[in-house]
Amino acid sequence: MTSSSDGKHPLGSKKDQAYIKEYIESHPDNRMAWYLLGKQYERNGEQGKANYCFKEAGDIYHAFENVPRLSEEIEELAENTERQQAASHISRNGKKRIGIAILLFLLLGSIAGEVKAPSRMYPASVESEAGEAKDDAISKKKDVHLPNGALSIPSQAGILVPEQDDAAFGHALKDAKHIASKVNHVHYLLHIRTHQQWWMWKAPLRPDYRLSADSNGQNIVVTPLQGKQCKCDADRVQASSFVQQWMPRSVERLVAKSALTAVLQMNDQAPKQWSKLASKYPNNVVSGITPQIAQAYDEIAASYMSHMKKAKQIAPKKAKQQALQNIWSDESDPFREPMRILVDRKHHRLAVVSGKIMLRNYKVGLGGKRTPLGSFRITEKVVDPNGSSIGDFGSRGMTLSDTLYAIHGTNEPDSIGLDKSLGCVRMSKEDVEELFDMVPIGTEVVIGSDILPEELLVPDKDSRYRLNLSPKQDNLNKRYRWL
């Protein structure tokens, strides 16, 4: 589908103007759309309406008012970027300007329908100031398995795009260049809601755009999947099916990577199989096993081993560090850092995060100032502390840095959200059992104040992360006296 724009002004027809107005009705916070509508009114001599739209556009209007014709600007910016990249210097203003230009180009695609964007217009060094670049994820369909333990290349992948972050579309467009030469590959731009500084990982994420290569592998086709004008029911169904399978698989890979990283922090080597980590107490680094997590770990461990073999001439410590960096820089996953646990004394919250992505935010009971601030690690995990699932510490317990502080269950559910403990972190049965399955021994735990939002992020019962519990994870030889 091509736009009805004339040669001088993108989206220059009355039909396009009506479409932008309709688009704004559904996306009133999209400043770029307001700017484009204002330019339409300005061309038609309706300056009053144009000024109103420019006011709604805010800094997008100011950024573009001195920019020449779009096609010339993008070409010029691309050429400038290549020259600057060769000189190993790109100014902050240049980055921002390029990111905004690419954003406009992509937004025009979202309004006009399917748009062919020459891949040469995606300069490889473009990075805006809106966040970390290249947040893409694993696919759901057939993978091409590479030799020597290399990670598989997905035929479908996801790219996280935070809400109300226009410049993130520039990042997404930059990432899309990778599929320009892969005709059978599809990327989905997935809308993820933000809260404060966090990206909230809550199913289902909404697929906003479908990016694919044309038959020649030279151009990117951008297909919007939302809005009244979208005649894409089949594409939308396919995208939703992809998201339903991709999200849990991405979490499985995060858990597998976090476990591998935690083991390597404690030992020189890590087992090749997940089952070796799911042993009886006290070697229960992880709590259990499923076929899905075992497969994810096998792939990741094989990739790690492959990189270690290639680094035989490097010092072991440095080789291990580089191999782990390679694992976490994998562009087929949205998560780029091991899981951490954050505890907020002020709001009585415990969150599981990976970088800026928040997977869970539970309500917990604490001990006020008796709950210590600082950084800890999970050094022990035990099922049914003191031999009971209904005792003082509930059905699960996780010791913090070999102290008397722990994260555990409780037989006083009414204390959740209050300062009733002597310093430990209390959780409800469902929450502590899910956390026990998600995080391995070695996971970092940071306790602070006013570091988490109050908004809860807890899946429904059927969407909880659970493993098939391995036997003999209790410890009847010890009487726990957590605070």
Peptide bond before 413: cis, by omega within 30 degrees of 0?
Answer: no
Q: Which amino acid is at 450?
A: D
Q: Is 207 helix (H, G, I), strand (E, B) or coil?
A: strand
Determine whether 171 is an active site residue: no
Residue 411 and residue 390 in contact, taking contact as beta carbons nearer than 8 Å: yes
For residue 258, CA distances in Å to 10, 111, 289, 296, 303 come to: 47, 40, 15, 12, 14
DSSP string, 108-156: HHHHHSSEEEEGGGS-TT---SSS-S--EE--SS--BPPSTTPPPBPSE
The strand order across the sheet containing 115-118 reads 115-118, 219-224, 206-213, 186-192, 156-162, 136-137
Q: Is the dihedral of CA 443, 448, 451, 456 positive or negative?
A: positive
Alpha-carbon distance of 227 to 33, in angstroms, equals: 14
Query: Phi and psi of 43, rounded to 5°?
Result: -65, -30
Alpha-carbon distance of 223 to 207, in angstroms, equals: 11
Determine whether 232 is an active site residue: no
Q: Is 161 helix (H, G, I), strand (E, B) or coil?
A: strand
Q: Which of 264, 352, 267, 353 is nearest to 300 (CA)?
A: 264
For residue 474, CA distances in Å to 247, 288, 439, 479, 480 come to: 32, 13, 17, 11, 11
Parallel, antiparallel or unpaired: strands 406-408 and 396-400: antiparallel
Helix axes 14-26, 31-43, angle to 10 degrees: 150
Residue 126 and residue 81 in contact, taking contact as beta carbons nearer than 8 Å: yes
Q: Which of 428, 250, 228, 453 is nearest to 332 (CA)?
A: 250
DSSP string, 431-472: HHHHHHHHSPTT-EEEEESS-S-SS-B---GGG----EEPS-
For residue 209, CA distances in Å to 2, 216, 296 come to: 17, 21, 27
Q: Which amino acid is at 172?
A: A
Among the options 185, 307, 347, 408, which is catalytic? 408
Active site residues: 408, 424
